[in-house]
Structure 1
Amino acid sequence: MKIVRFEHEGNIKFGVLQGEHINVLNGDVFGEYQISKEILSLANVKLLSPCVISKAVCVGLNYHGHAKEMNLELPVQPLFFLKPSSALNHPGGNIEYPSISQDVHYEAELAIVIKKLAKKVKAEEAEGYILGYTCANDVTARDIQKMDGQWTRAKSFDTFLPLGPCIETEIDASNINIKLYLNDQLKQSSNTGDLIFKVPEIVARVSEVMTLYPGDVILTGTPSGVGPMQVGDTVTVEIEGIGRLSNIVV
């Protein structure tokens, strides 16, 4: 099931995406809900980020291929960092190029969407805390990242966390293709089978440190092929079984 969050006639709602139509949901997608009889055309709504986050937890250096291209040793434990809720961006939203950076990069990522409060979750129980998965772009001001020596400022600019277009609730995230296109040119292409730390362990490791709330996301890392974007570029993350997330750099 593909859950979308959208705006229609000034109201924000959730629905189930069915091709070019949306079946509107009544209730709480993180709790109890029902599929209503109201059906809207996808063309008549504005898609929003599929969830509202309290935080985004990101895993750095989590693909074997990315570690190899960076000439870095494989991490022995997951490396976490945060992106603030103010960085959240929507499908089709503009990525704002900061005036203080000269080197902004794309990073295609699979994002885990948390279903219920998660604290000290065991890896074997992690699936029960996951609502589904969505596409993410961990936009990064690479020059600032290198200058600062830590990642908060470089990762946290407004609009630097596009999410969407939907939350796919019925997918095996252990073996799906992930790609990124820059102006229709393929730049990243990998499979989640190349992840160093798999989804259950990631959820367990994060939740032993911090409480995760419904709607929070965990970005699972980016594959090889990261690179720069320029003003005017269109960047598209495509994940098998989920969909395509496109944004324009302005």
Structure 2
Amino acid sequence: MRIARFSYNDRPQYAFVQHDDSDNRDYLIALDGYPLSAQAVKPTGERYAVDGEGIRLLAPVIPSKVYGLAKNYQAHARFMAEAGMSDITEAPERMMIFAKPSTAVIGPDDPIVYPAYSHQMCYEPEVAVVIGRIAKNVPVEHAMDYVLGFTCVNDVTLRDLQQNDPMWTRSKGFDTSCPLGPWIETELDFANTGISFSLNGETVPEASGNTSKLIHSIPEQIAFISSFSTLLPGDVIMTGTPHASGSLRPRDEAVVHIDGIGDLRNVVVSA
């Protein structure tokens, strides 16, 4: 099942996403209610084409917080060492966690704003986990019981600032640095999901990967993060980028593709 958040005539609401084989289009089945609440939601009877006039897909959730994992693929750990951002060429045994504020989140087709104080913006395509229930001190074996679903995320990073900021606060937490979408997929083979990225219509092979190569699995990530921070419904975990990431420039079109979910498209603009 796919859950989207969208606006029609500037009114945001949630919907189930259904594909109609008769015309090969995706449709939004509008919902009355909030899918992350304890109360059941029900269709309103309204149906809109995803690409219809006046329809705009929004970030599928507005999280209270976003956590990310650094160096959670061996290839990316080597890349960061070669780029001078780490003296560790191997993926660390302990998870390296950072955070983004909710103000970093944008949705599909929203612009990524290139800050004037940076000269090296980079993309990082990843699978994102969306939490569905309050989670605290969750054991690994029950971690997936707290997940609503999965979506695409681009962990946009200011690489030049990252080299000089050991806390990564500005380099990863600036406004528009966390594109999410296009929707939440509740059923995904999360342990074996392909990740790819295209820049201006061209696939970037170096950015591709698969969650089967994660150093720390998704259940392990949820268990560890919930051991020190209470995860709330709608919170997001960025599970790690698989490989070396390249640069973005104003007017670039960045598309994150996750098998089984779809495409997250954003265009870079100057501040």
Task: Place the TM-score, normalised by the shorter chain, in its bin.
Answer: over 0.9
- Please give the per-residue CA displacement for 1:177-221, whole angstroms capped at 9, x wherever unaligned: 001111122221111001000010000000001001110000001
Distance (Å, rounded) in 2 between the aligned partners of 1:193 and 1:22: 31
The DSSP-based 3-state class of the residue aligned with 2:233 is coil
Q: 1:145 and 2:155 equivalent?
A: no
Matches within 5 A, 1:81-160: 81-160=98-177
Q: Specify the alignment match of 2:214 in structure 1.
A: 195
Distance (Å, rounded) in 1 between the aligned partners of 2:78 and 2:176: 29
The equivalent position to 2:201 in structure 1, one of 184, 197, 209, is 184
Q: Specify the alignment match of 1:28 in structure 2.
A: 34
Distance (Å, rounded) in 2 between the aligned partners of 1:133 and 1:35: 22
Distance (Å, rounded) in 1 between the aligned partners of 2:79 and 2:175: 28
The residue type equivalent to 2:14 in the other structure is F
CA deviation after TM superposition for structure 1 residue 65, in Å? 2.2
Deviates more, 1:158-167 or 1:144-153: 144-153
Distance (Å, rounded) in 1 between the aligned partners of 2:259 and 2:178: 20
- Please give the per-residue CA displacement for 1:9-59, whole angstroms capped at 9, x wherever unaligned: 221110011132111112220132123422112123110000011010011
Q: Specify the alignment match of 2:45 in structure 1.
A: 37
The DSSP-based 3-state class of the residue aligned with 1:236 is strand
The residue type equivalent to 1:141 in the other structure is L
Contact 1:141 1:154 in 2 (8 A): yes
CA deviation after TM superposition for structure 1 residue 156, in Å? 1.1
**TM norm structure 2:** 0.90
Percent of aligned pairs sharing the same letter: 42
Matches within 5 A, 1:199-210: 199-210=218-229
Deviates more, 1:27-36 or 1:104-113: 27-36
Q: Specify the alignment match of 1:237 in structure 2.
A: 256
The equivalent position to 1:164 in structure 2, one of 160, 181, 186, is 181
The DSSP-based 3-state class of the residue aligned with 1:127 is helix
The DSSP-based 3-state class of the residue aligned with 2:255 is strand
The residue type equivalent to 2:209 in the other structure is S
Distance (Å, rounded) in 2 between the aligned partners of 1:132 and 1:243: 13
Q: Specify the alignment match of 1:18 in structure 2.
A: 18
Distance (Å, rounded) in 1 between the aligned partners of 2:10 and 2:78: 47
The DSSP-based 3-state class of the residue aligned with 1:125 is helix
CA RMSD, 1 decimal = 1.1
Unaligned runs of 5+ in 2: 20-25, 82-88
CA deviation after TM superposition for structure 1 residue 119, in Å? 0.7
The DSSP-based 3-state class of the residue aligned with 1:181 is strand
Unaligned runs of 5+ in 1: none
Q: Specify the alignment match of 1:75 in structure 2.
A: 92
Distance (Å, rounded) in 2 between the aligned partners of 1:212 and 1:35: 28
The residue type equivalent to 1:146 in the other structure is Q
Q: Specify the alignment match of 2:76 in structure 1.
A: 66
Contact 1:5 1:12 in 2 (8 A): yes
Contact 1:65 1:194 in 2 (8 A): no
Q: 1:55 and 2:77 equivalent?
A: no
The DSSP-based 3-state class of the residue aligned with 2:190 is coil
- How many correspondences in the alignment? 250
